[in-house]
Amino acid sequence: MRMKGYFRESSRWAGIAALATALAACGGSKGDLENWVAEVRAKPAPPLDPLPVMQQFETFEYDAQNLRDPFSEMFNGGEGSGPRPDAGRRKQTLEQFPLDSFDMVGTLGNGKNLVALVMAPDKVTYRVQPGAYLGQSDGRVTAINEDRVELVELVPDGAGGWLERPATILLEDN
């Protein structure tokens, strides 16, 4: 038990001695450092690079009052012939849903009197006949078969006109 106290006491003295040695090293002469700083300050500073010369830009006044408008043909030129959505037509219930959200679940009738049964995302089954509109792209039903509903959508062509795009809703296999 007595040896434990001895080691504790000796390690305390060793720590104090190390601290005293470190403090003594810091308190030495600062002469070398002060001389070096004085030398560096006495040297002349290196010259600065000259400022770059700014280029003068010529001003340009844009005057296009007498020139052809490049966008007039794009937006007004597409009004010629071709399919167009009927802006005055009243929208039908099934036009509020995207076309890919419909599921064909069956048909009623036979031959030319087929009526398709289509389930919408609201989980209601609707009767669809040729001439009805489905989807958000003015999709008009053109034909109903036992296994599919065929329709034609009107999509913008990017140049102010419209393109007809065929689409199909297939009968779900359960």
Q: In which band, very low, low, confident or very high, does the pLDDT at 150 lie, cut at 50, 70 and 90?
A: very high
- Domain presence at residue 136: yes
Q: What is residue 69's predicted lDDT score, i.e. its pLDDT?
A: 72
Distance, CA of 80 to CA of 91 (rounded, Å):
24
> Considering its fold, how many domains does the chain have in total?
1
- Domain presence at residue 30: no
pLDDT, greater one: 114 or 18: 114
Q: What is the pLDDT of residues 56-112, one digit of tens each?
A: 888 888 777 777 776 665 555 445 567 888 888 899 999 999 999 999 999 998 878
Q: What is residue 128's predicted lDDT score, i.e. its pLDDT?
A: 93
Largest CA distance in the chain: 113
- Domain presence at residue 127: yes
- Domain presence at residue 14: no
Q: What is the pLDDT of residues 22-61, one digit of tens each?
A: 766 665 567 888 899 999 989 988 888 998 898 888 888 8
- Domain presence at residue 65: no
Domain hosting residue 107, numbered range: 93-170
Q: In which band, very low, low, confident or very high, does the pLDDT at 19 lie, cut at 50, 70 and 90?
A: confident
- Domain presence at residue 10: no
- Domain presence at residue 165: yes
- Domain presence at residue 82: no
- Residue environment code for 81-93, b if the CB has 16+ CB neighbours within 10 A, otherwise e: eeeeeeeeeeeee
CATH of the domain at 99: 2.30.30.830
